[in-house]
Amino acid sequence: MKPITKNEIKDALYQVGLKEGSIVMVHTSLGSIGYVCGGAQAVIETLMEIVGTEGTIMMPTQSWKNLDPEDGVHWTVAEEDWQIIRDNWPAYDKNLTPTNSMGAVAEMFRLWPGTIRSDHPARSVSAWGKYASYLASNHDLSNIFGDGSPVGKLYELDGSVLMIGVDYDKNTSLHLADARAEYPGKHNCMEHSAIMENGHRIWKEYETLFVDGEDFKEIGAAFEKEHEVRHGMLGGAELRFMRQRELVDFAVKWIEENRHCSATEYKI
Ligand SMILES: CC(C)(COP(=O)(O)OP(=O)(O)OC[C@H]1O[C@@H](n2cnc3c(N)ncnc32)[C@H](O)[C@@H]1OP(=O)(O)O)[C@@H](O)C(=O)NCCC(=O)NCCS
């Protein structure tokens, strides 16, 4: 396959509806595009050149390795050694802590000059542009995905979601619907992360909504039957661009009508 250039990225993103001033949450699989001339840097530069300084780009920059081994996130470590992790995992530092499975684009984006990363030790976002500070500030330990969280604020701003080569199971905005909807088995759980508090590294316990995203692909497929999602191709990657509010409003209804299975039956 021929290397994909910034001009080709730009054309494809314009075609699905990204434009100057867009406020957009972006989820990317770089490898699915093919060979991008300039890799993650080219993708980020193009996004920024399109939305411009009046626009805003947000990406998930989660560091979920900074959670309790009980959640299954340290699967290579034997249970008798889990306490070593709780006692020694480095405290979250938004300038240092790497992302986990968020992709090469998000990992580069969090380090991009002018990008602001939120304070959540395991579920942060990073944002650039006009509303970056608003979106990334006050990311509550417990209110990870609800109203007032970064995805809740994106809803208030009537922002969009752009998926590059990934499916709805990676569409973090659907967790806002988890938070808003009522369904059997909805419950909170206790999470733990290493953070700095009063100058000391501690293993912090906090209560938050249990979420797992098991039915997100199903929600996405149902959403696309009833709502306008702009589709396109960028090399080998399918592009999908949608209004976040429409997605979240649809998902709240879908969850309330269809999620009969107790969330406790799922495991992360
Ligand atoms: C998990 C995920 C990141 C994997 O996608 P991926 O394409 O395999 O990985 P990346 O996006 O990190 O891209 C790196 C890959 O791009 C490829 N690559 C390297 N240089 C490249 C270039 N110039 N052009 C294109 N691809 C290139 C390589 O294959 C590399 O894989 P490697 O590190 O194994 O060598 C992706 O599926 C995903 O989920 N992305 C969205 C994450 C997200 O938003 N999550 C939300 C919360 S759940």
List pLDDT tens digits, range 29-73. 999 999 999 999 999 999 999 999 999 999 999 999 999 999 999
* 106 Cα: distance to centroid of ligand 1 (angstroms): 9
* 75 Cα: distance to centroid of ligand 1 (angstroms): 21
Please state the rounded mean pLDDT for residues 119-143.
98
Q: What is the DSSP string of 78-122?
A: -GGGHHHHHHHSPPP-TTTPPPSSS-HHHHHHHTSTT-EE---TT
Nearest-CA residue for ligand 1 atom 4 is 29
Answer whether 235 contacts ligand 1 (Cβ < 6 A).
Answer: no
Q: Using CA atoms, how far apart are residues 52 and 129, in angstroms rounded to an integer?
A: 8
Answer whether 37 contacts ligand 1 (Cβ < 6 A).
Answer: no
With the most atoms of ligand 1 within 8 angstroms of its CB, the residue from 29, 145, 214 to mutate is: 29
**Token duo for residue 172:** 């973090």
Answer whether 102 contacts ligand 1 (Cβ < 6 A).
Answer: yes
Answer whether 36 contacts ligand 1 (Cβ < 6 A).
Answer: yes
> Which ligand 1 atom sits closest to the C-alpha of 32?
7
* 151 Cα: distance to centroid of ligand 1 (angstroms): 22
Nearest-CA residue for ligand 1 atom 30 is 31
Q: Using CA atoms, how far apart are residues 136 and 202, in angstroms rounded to an integer?
A: 23
Please state the rounded mean pLDDT for residues 76-102.
98
With the most atoms of ligand 1 within 8 angstroms of its CB, the residue from 1, 5, 24, 30 to mutate is: 30
**Token duo for residue 218:** 């199903």
pLDDT, tens only, 178-227: 999 999 999 999 999 999 999 999 999 999 999 999 999 999 999 999 99
Picking from 130, 120, 125, the residue whose alpha carbon sits closest to that of residue 92 is 120
The torsion angles phi and psi of 231, rounded to 5 degrees, stand at -105, 150
The pLDDT value recorded for residue 1 is 78
Strands 125-129, 116-117: pairing kind: antiparallel
**Token duo for residue 176:** 């806002």
Q: Using CA atoms, how far apart are residues 158 and 110, in angstroms rounded to an integer?
A: 23
Answer whether 18 contacts ligand 1 (Cβ < 6 A).
Answer: no
> In DSSP terms, which residues pair with 163 in a beta bridge?
27, 240
Q: Using CA atoms, how far apart are residues 43 and 38, in angstroms rounded to an integer?
A: 8
